[in-house]
Amino acid sequence: MMQLQDILYSQGFGTRRVCAGLVQQGWVDVLPKNADSPLTQCRDSTLQFDTDGLQLCVQGEWWPFAEKAYLMLHKPAGTECSQKPSTYPSIYTLLPPPLRQRPTKSAVQGVQAIGRLDQDTTGLILLSDDGQFIHRMSSPKKHVPKLYEVRMKHNVSAEQVERLLAGVVLDDDPVPVRAAACVQVDPTLVHLTLTEGKYHQVKRMIAAVGNRVEGLHRSEIGGLQLPADLAPGRWRWLDENDLSLLKPVS
């Protein structure tokens, strides 16, 4: 059981004083699990609720209570995966304020992108405020596969595919970097699966075999695919089935 103001605070709706004010002004409705109807204009911020299955309606927007936030975002082109972008808008501006303001034990607040995509790269981005989940999904030791749809400038040769699978040397690392899988879809398109995430890795690997990336889209992480109905710039919560697909290989 938690006080309503503490529940709102934990979900990123502001300081406890701000959250208490939202309640006192009648901006918060609460729908406990298995309730027949919502509690409207809940005015007492010290009321206690079981957070299991709790639904909140804050200023007309419904929010599920989430002890930890797990999200997917369809990153559009022309955005940066940084909270302090240098040139292009940040992907964080695509998220509602509560997700950017969720309190954490660390100095940085809100959900964090797990890995980054270049500003011109589109596709699946995961975000969370769960530090253990972020580490598990981003650690190179876990070998979480990521599928990229790579459009090349020139036709792809069988030799280039073989080299990507065998391993290429990048300029900053003498250890060859290998693709876990590489499937040619048409003359200039390959589906490339990687299990690590070096800086500009896909573009550098393609350059190392004598071609050039013209378009790059990440469509899958682990066993989780970017839904066809999730438009660029949109996000949604991950459900239990989604999370089960993200279990690391090792």
Q: Which residues are identified as catalytic?
A: 118
CA atoms within 13 A on the CB side of 106: 9
Report the distance separating Cα 42 and Cα 25, nearest Å.
9
Residue from 150, 133, 124 nearest 220 by CA? 124
Which DSSP state fits 178?
-
Write down the residue that tokens 């992907």 correspond to.
91
Q: What b-and-e string marks burial along 97-114, b requiring 16 or more CB atoms within 10 Å of the CB?
A: ebbbbbeeeeeeebbbbb
User: Quick one: three-class SS letters along 16-65?
Assistant: HHHHHHHHHCCCEEEECCCCCCCECCCCCCCCEECCCCCEEEECCEEEEC
